[in-house]
């Protein structure tokens, strides 16, 4: 059998052309630098199933006989595409495009290789011919755009629009999308063209203000265009006019990316139309650092590591030469730093009286980085020695924030703060709300929400949002309650982000802090942004999920927006019966780039209306469905309680599958558990979500940690959420057999296996990766020889694994291991620290608790969960 099944590819966040096995490494432009092949494909192409799909379920099926999984054989949906993807290539599109991975939004998510995944017969692969109707297929109104909306930027939960409200409700699948406007490009097709505006500016509909897009229809010989949102016929501006060819396409189509691509960047028009896109000239990139200098910050090494990271990143700060920078350190007093470029060395100004803080020399506390480069460098070199170990355990964080706010208020920008002590002085002082009696009970919810007594942080967040300031908070906890919920409300409403380090130690966590902070500064960032989603009249946005402030009914204020933020939207039908054939959705992000250009990122999606439930099921994207449900569950956990959130997830899963069975299953008398092809991983993912860190039952997860993860889930993209709840597990036992990396371009990754303990052998080695960290698990009897090659010592008996660093050795096994680790890291935007655990050792739970298919203390195994779901479906019929 030909190796053509994408599932054999280890999960890989970079979507390479599907036919990568045949391509030479140099093909495919800059994105082919690294190509990750599955181990099988690399050294055993004859055995595509060699990834050893363990099929525990089939085994169980034989035992139980009444439970089996619906594979394609009894799939009621005729002609379902092989990857459960609705979006067929537009007929006539070039074969290259049909093969393009972007046509299959969900294929990246088949990777977990669940036991329920079975090989599909080749015959169903040819789906385009067997599709009887047009539903699910995107036919543009005017021209066939050459490329589908890249899933990197926009993923719908299903790629159809239900015709009636009844149909939308009936499927039980949430109707929405996850948008990731500044996502990092993952393939050549994700590189966004920048359209420079002509003299006429950006072409927009006169009535609904939507932007021109590939689905607009040019009529009247090209002199007018019909808006695909409100159907108003607009005049084409004279500068934009182009005659139409015989097929009705504009003759200049090739030069107009905005009419061909679903995601484009429009550079904002010149200043004559200034008021429309900006209220002031674009701001310079502005960074203000607030660094805790209290006892724990100094003693844990956080202070030194932070300063060192900033110093080493100074040369790379974006936005040069306009970048502005400033610093405040704080403990029981506030320390300002005069960085005027004409000084020979920086001046420190200490304010101890917090009752009336005034800002000394406001102009010299926030300076241009280029002008004051030398003096900033001096400051950062000297700072660590200026704060020797102190006994000062107080924190005037609130006052520091207020000063930073006043300083950058006229410009806007980013405040990056580092907090290791509960604010204890002046404004913004927080009491320790943690009450061990409520941890683990339903009342714990109040700890996930900002304190009800707090006015300071929420009001400050509002002020910051208005002044275009975003606040990122790095929180370092020493097992002490830090009220992450209240502190993070600052980030939540200003489009910022939180980082949380439990029991921070610079020797083990320093590397992660270094990479996190660098990524925070260097990633693509947009300033003073607003985000708006427009839909055809039939549909509107019901609710939004993410870190933002809703400034008016459909306008999200984002003082900062960056490559790691995604936003989820839930739609609802306005009309009871949608009369149009297509519905368009357009998201526009207006932002200032770090180099001071005003841009609009426009993402347009046009979907066919359907009245068939089968189309909805067939076109669903399990990753997006899981992500949206998770985000709804986060809100539920915050507004109600964790157990309600878990119940909601399971109930939704049961409801979806029940509808599928009652309405779509071909054989009604069938007593098997039927899973829709596109959503076959849904039960697995839902179970994984309920077992994930924030939703897990029990008291091991501290309230602060839960809050952090709930916040993280709120902003995470589909890829990250799936990876967080269902980590990738590599079987590294036969690492020495792995093909040696021949060239720089090829890295062979080990086999991926399911997340259950069947693969744990006493002489084995496994690697788990969840987009936050990697955990290397070693069996008790892992060969001494290998151990020696990897660690330089024959046994790990008696070694403190919590501080053990993986040495870089010259031995073949060590080289291979490091190659694999680096390859995995290079696919992720955040740095993945490596933890090492051993079978039977105390910290092994870090690893075993992630094996979501296993039965755990407080939760069911995947198999039991399927049985439970099956019983509930049977009952509800």
Partner 1 sequence: MLDLTALFFNIFALLADCALIFSNVYFLALFSDLEADTINPIDMCRHLNAFLLPEIIGHAVLSALFLFTGRFWLFLLNVPLLAWHAYKVSTKSIRLDATQIYRTIGKETKILFAKLGFYMVCFCAYLFYLIWTIVDE
30 contact choice in partner 1, Zn ion, none (CB below 5 to 8 Å, kind-dependent): none
296 binds Zn ion (CB under 5 A): no
Q: Select from 161, 357, 461, 710 the one that contacts partner 1 (CB under 8 A).
A: 461
Q: What are phi and psi of 376, to 5 degrees?
A: -65, -40
448 closest CA partner among 193, 249, 633, 215: 633
Closer of 533 and 820 to partner 1 (Cβ): 533
855 binds partner 1 (CB under 8 A): no
Least distance (Å) between residue 716 CB and partner 1 = 20
Least distance (Å) between residue 715 CB and partner 1 = 15
Q: What are phi and psi of 384, to 5 degrees?
A: -55, -40
∠ CA 321-322-328, nearest 5°, is 115
| Residue pair 619/136 in contact by the 8 Å Cβ criterion | yes
Q: Determine how many CB atoms are found less than 10 A away from the CB of residue 443.
A: 12
493 contact choice in partner 1, Zn ion, none (CB below 5 to 8 Å, kind-dependent): partner 1
Closer of 14 and 229 to Zn ion (Cβ): 229
Q: How far apart are the C-alpha atoms of 406 and 411, rounded to whole Å?
A: 10
Q: How far apart are the C-alpha atoms of 142 and 176, rounded to whole Å?
A: 25
Distance of CA 540 to the CA centre of its chain: 24
229 contact choice in partner 1, Zn ion, none (CB below 5 to 8 Å, kind-dependent): Zn ion
279 contact choice in Zn ion, partner 1, none (CB below 5 to 8 Å, kind-dependent): none
Q: Select from 30, 129, 355, 552 the one that contacts partner 1 (CB under 8 A).
A: 552
- Map the footprint of partner 1 across residues 592-631, applying CB under 8 A: none
453 binds partner 1 (CB under 8 A): yes
**Which residues are within 8 A (CB) of 454 and not within 5 positions of it... i.e. 6 or more apart?**
430, 486, 489
Q: Select from 361, 550, 574, 793 the one that contacts partner 1 (CB under 8 A).
A: 550
Q: How far apart are the C-alpha atoms of 660 and 246, rounded to whole Å?
A: 45
Rounded alpha-carbon distances, angstroms, from residue 285 to 157, 192, 375, 634: 35, 22, 19, 32
Q: Determine how many CB atoms are found less than 10 A away from the CB of residue 764.
A: 18
Least distance (Å) between residue 210 CB and Zn ion = 5
The count of chain residues that interact with partner 1, using the rule CB under 8 A, is: 16
255 binds partner 1 (CB under 8 A): no
- Taking CB under 8 A as the binding criterion, the range among 86-94, 203-211, 549-557, 836-844 that sits at the site for partner 1 is 549-557
543 binds partner 1 (CB under 8 A): yes
Q: Determine how many CB atoms are found less than 10 A away from the CB of residue 172.
A: 16
209 binds partner 1 (CB under 8 A): no
361 binds partner 1 (CB under 8 A): no
578 contact choice in Zn ion, partner 1, none (CB below 5 to 8 Å, kind-dependent): none
Least distance (Å) between residue 95 CB and partner 1 = 47
Half-sphere exposure of 21 (CA within 13 A, CB side): 18
205 binds Zn ion (CB under 5 A): yes
Closer of 246 and 452 to partner 1 (Cβ): 452
- Map the footprint of partner 1 across residues 114-173, applying CB under 8 A: none
230 contact choice in Zn ion, partner 1, none (CB below 5 to 8 Å, kind-dependent): Zn ion
184 contact choice in partner 1, Zn ion, none (CB below 5 to 8 Å, kind-dependent): none
- Taking CB under 8 A as the binding criterion, the range among 391-399, 460-468, 516-524, 723-731 that sits at the site for partner 1 is 460-468
Half-sphere exposure of 13 (CA within 13 A, CB side): 23
- Number of alpha helices (DSSP H) and beta strands (DSSP E) in the chain: 25, 30
Q: Is the Cα dihedral 382, 387, 389, 395 positive or negative?
A: negative
Q: Select from 170, 204, 551, 818 the one that contacts partner 1 (CB under 8 A).
A: 551
Binding letters toward Zn ion, positions 150-189, x by CB under 5 A: ----------------------------------------
Q: What are phi and psi of 349, to 5 degrees?
A: -120, 120
| Residue pair 314/380 in contact by the 8 Å Cβ criterion | yes
* Paired tokens of 603: 């993402």
Sheet strands (E) in 18-167: 35-38, 154-156, 161-162
563 binds Zn ion (CB under 5 A): no
Q: Select from 52, 67, 208, 799 the one that contacts Zn ion (CB under 5 A).
A: 208
Q: Select from 462, 507, 662, 699 the one that contacts partner 1 (CB under 8 A).
A: 462
**Which residues are within 8 A (CB) of 169 and not within 5 positions of it... i.e. 6 or more apart?**
none
- Map the footprint of Zn ion across residues 500-539, applying CB under 5 A: none
**Which residues are within 8 A (CB) of 267 and not within 5 positions of it... i.e. 6 or more apart?**
194, 195, 196, 197, 597, 598, 599
Mapped onto helix, strand or coil, the DSSP state of residue 636 is: helix
∠ CA 23-26-31, nearest 5°, is 95
780 binds partner 1 (CB under 8 A): no
227 contact choice in Zn ion, partner 1, none (CB below 5 to 8 Å, kind-dependent): Zn ion
Q: In angstroms, how far is the first alpha carbon of the chain from the final one? A: 41
279 binds partner 1 (CB under 8 A): no
877 binds partner 1 (CB under 8 A): no
Q: Select from 256, 340, 466, 828 the one that contacts partner 1 (CB under 8 A).
A: 466
Binding letters toward partner 1, positions 471-510, x by CB under 8 A: ---------------------xx-----------------
Q: How far apart are the C-alpha atoms of 723 and 829, rounded to whole Å?
A: 13
736 binds partner 1 (CB under 8 A): no
Closer of 216 and 557 to partner 1 (Cβ): 557
> In b/e form, how buried is each residue of 694-709, taking b as 16+ CB within 10 angstroms?
bbbbeeebbbbbbbbb
Closer of 211 and 713 to Zn ion (Cβ): 211
Sheet strands (E) in 411-554: 413-419, 469-477, 498-502, 525-535, 539-545, 549-552
Q: Select from 358, 452, 479, 797 the one that contacts partner 1 (CB under 8 A).
A: 452
- Taking CB under 8 A as the binding criterion, the range among 63-71, 215-223, 447-455, 576-584 that sits at the site for partner 1 is 447-455
In terms of C-beta distances under 8 Å and separation of at least 24 residues, what long-range contacts does 241-244 make, across chains too? 244/218
216 binds Zn ion (CB under 5 A): no
- Map the footprint of Zn ion across residues 228-247, applying CB under 5 A: 229-230, 232
297 contact choice in partner 1, Zn ion, none (CB below 5 to 8 Å, kind-dependent): none
Q: How far apart are the C-alpha atoms of 127 and 129, rounded to whole Å?
A: 5
208 contact choice in Zn ion, partner 1, none (CB below 5 to 8 Å, kind-dependent): Zn ion
∠ CA 136-140-145, nearest 5°, is 105
Q: Which residues bind partner 1 (CB under 8 A)?
A: 452-453, 455, 458, 461-462, 465-466, 492-493, 543, 549-553
Q: Which residues bind Zn ion (CB under 5 A)?
A: 205, 207-208, 227, 229-230, 232
């Amino acid at each position: 059998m030909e190796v053509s099944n994408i599932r054999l590819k280890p999960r890989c966040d970079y979507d390479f052309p599907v036919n990568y096995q045949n391509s030479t490494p140099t093909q495919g432009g800059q994105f082919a630098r690294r190509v990750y092949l599955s181990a099988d494909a690399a050294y055993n192409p004859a055995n595509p199933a060699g990834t050893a799909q363990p099929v525990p379920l089939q085994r169980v099926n034989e035992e139980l006989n009444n439970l089996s999984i619906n594979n394609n054989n009894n799939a009621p949906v005729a002609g379902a595409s092989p990857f459960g993807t609705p979006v067929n290539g537009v007929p006539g599109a070039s074969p290259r495009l049909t093969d393009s991975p972007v046509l299959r939004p969900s294929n990246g998510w088949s990777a977990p290789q669940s036991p329920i995944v079975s090989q599909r017969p080749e015959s169903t692969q040819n789906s385009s011919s067997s599709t009887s109707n047009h539903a699910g297929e995107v036919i543009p109104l005017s021209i066939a755009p050459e490329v589908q909306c890249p899933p990197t930027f926009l993923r719908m939960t299903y790629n159809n629009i239900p015709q009636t409200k009844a149909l939308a409700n009936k499927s039980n699948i949430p109707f929405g999308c996850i948008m990731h406007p500044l996502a990092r490009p993952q393939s050549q097709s994700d590189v966004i063209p920048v359209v420079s505006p002509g003299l006429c500016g950006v072409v927009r509909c006169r009535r609904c203000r939507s932007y021109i897009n590939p689905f607009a229809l040019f009529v009247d010989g090209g002199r007018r265009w019909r808006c695909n949102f409100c159907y108003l016929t607009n005049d084409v501006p004279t500068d934009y006019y182009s005659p139409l060819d015989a097929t009705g396409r504009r003759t200049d189509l090739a030069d107009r990316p905005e009419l061909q691509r679903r995601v484009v960047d429009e550079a904002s028009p010149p200043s004559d139309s200034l008021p429309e896109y900006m209220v002031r000239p674009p701001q310079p990139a502005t960074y203000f650092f607030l660094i805790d200098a209290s006892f724990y910050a100094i003693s844990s090494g956080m202070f030194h590591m932070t300063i060192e990271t900033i110093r080493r990143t100074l040369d790379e700060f974006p936005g040069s030469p306009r970048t502005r920078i400033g610093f405040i350190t704080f403990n029981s007093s506030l320390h300002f730093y005069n960085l005027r470029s004409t000084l020979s060395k920086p001046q420190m100004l200490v304010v101890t009286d917090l009752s009336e803080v005034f800002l000394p020399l406001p102009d010299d506390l926030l300076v241009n980085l280029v002008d004051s480069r030398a003096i900033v460098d001096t400051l950062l070199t000297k700072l660590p020695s200026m704060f020797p170990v102190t006994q000062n355990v107080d924190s005037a964080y609130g006052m520091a924030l207020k000063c930073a706010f006043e300083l950058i208020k006229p410009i806007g920008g980013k405040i990056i703060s580092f907090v290791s002590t509960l604010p204890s002085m002046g404004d913004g002082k927080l009491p320790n709300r943690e009450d061990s009696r409520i941890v683990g009970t339903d009342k714990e919810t109040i700890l996930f929400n900002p304190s009800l007594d707090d006015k300071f942080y929420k009001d400050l967040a509002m002020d910051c949002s208005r002044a275009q300031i975003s606040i990122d908070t790095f929180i370092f906890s020493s097992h002490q309650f830090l009220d992450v919920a209240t502190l993070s409300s600052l980030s939540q409403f200003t489009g910022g982000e939180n980082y949380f380090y439990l029991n921070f130690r610079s020797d083990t966590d320093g590397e992660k802090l270094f990479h996190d902070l660098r990524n925070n500064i260097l990633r693509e960032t947009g300033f003073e942004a607003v985000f708006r989603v427009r839909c055809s009249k039939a549909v509107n946005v019901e609710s939004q999920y993410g870190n933002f402030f809703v400034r008016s009914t459909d306008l999200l204020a984002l003082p900062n927006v960056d490559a790691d933020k995604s936003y989820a939207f839930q739609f609802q039908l306005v009309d009871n019966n949608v009369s149009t054939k297509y519905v368009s959705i357009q998201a526009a992000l207006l932002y200032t780039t770090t180099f001071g250009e005003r841009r609009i990122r426009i993402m347009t999606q046009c979907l066919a209306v359907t009245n068939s439930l089968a189309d909805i099921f067939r076109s669903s994207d399990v990753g997006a469905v899981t992500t949206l449900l998770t985000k709804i569950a986060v809100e539920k956990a915050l507004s109600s309680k964790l157990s309600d959130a878990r119940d909601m997830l399971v109930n939704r899963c049961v409801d979806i599958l029940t509808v599928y069975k009652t309405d779509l299953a071909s054989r009604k008398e069938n007593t098997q558990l039927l899973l829709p092809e596109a959503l076959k991983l849904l039960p697995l993912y839902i179970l994984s979500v309920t077992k994930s860190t924030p939703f897990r039952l029990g008291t091991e997860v501290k309230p602060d940690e839960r809050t952090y993860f709930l916040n993280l889930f709120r902003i995470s993209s589909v890829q990250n959420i799936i990876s967080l709840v269902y980590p990738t597990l590599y079987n590294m036992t036969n690492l020495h057999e792995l093909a040696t990396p021949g060239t720089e371009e090829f890295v062979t990754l080990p086999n991926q296996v399911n997340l259950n303990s069947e693969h744990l052998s006493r002489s084995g080695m496994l690697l788990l990766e969840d987009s936050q960290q990697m955990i290397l698990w070693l069996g008790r009897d892992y060969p001494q020889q290998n151990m020696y090659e990897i660690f330089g010592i024959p046994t790990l008996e008696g070694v403190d694994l919590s501080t053990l660093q993986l040495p870089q050795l010259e031995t073949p096994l060590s080289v291979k291991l490091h190659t694999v680790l680096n390859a995995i890291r290079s696919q992720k935007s955040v740095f993945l620290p490596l933890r090492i655990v051993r079978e039977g050792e105390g910290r092994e739970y870090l690893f075993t608790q992630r094996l979501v298919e296993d039965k755990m203390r407080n939760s069911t195994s995947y198999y039991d969960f399927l049985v439970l779901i099956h019983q509930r479906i049977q009952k509800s019929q």
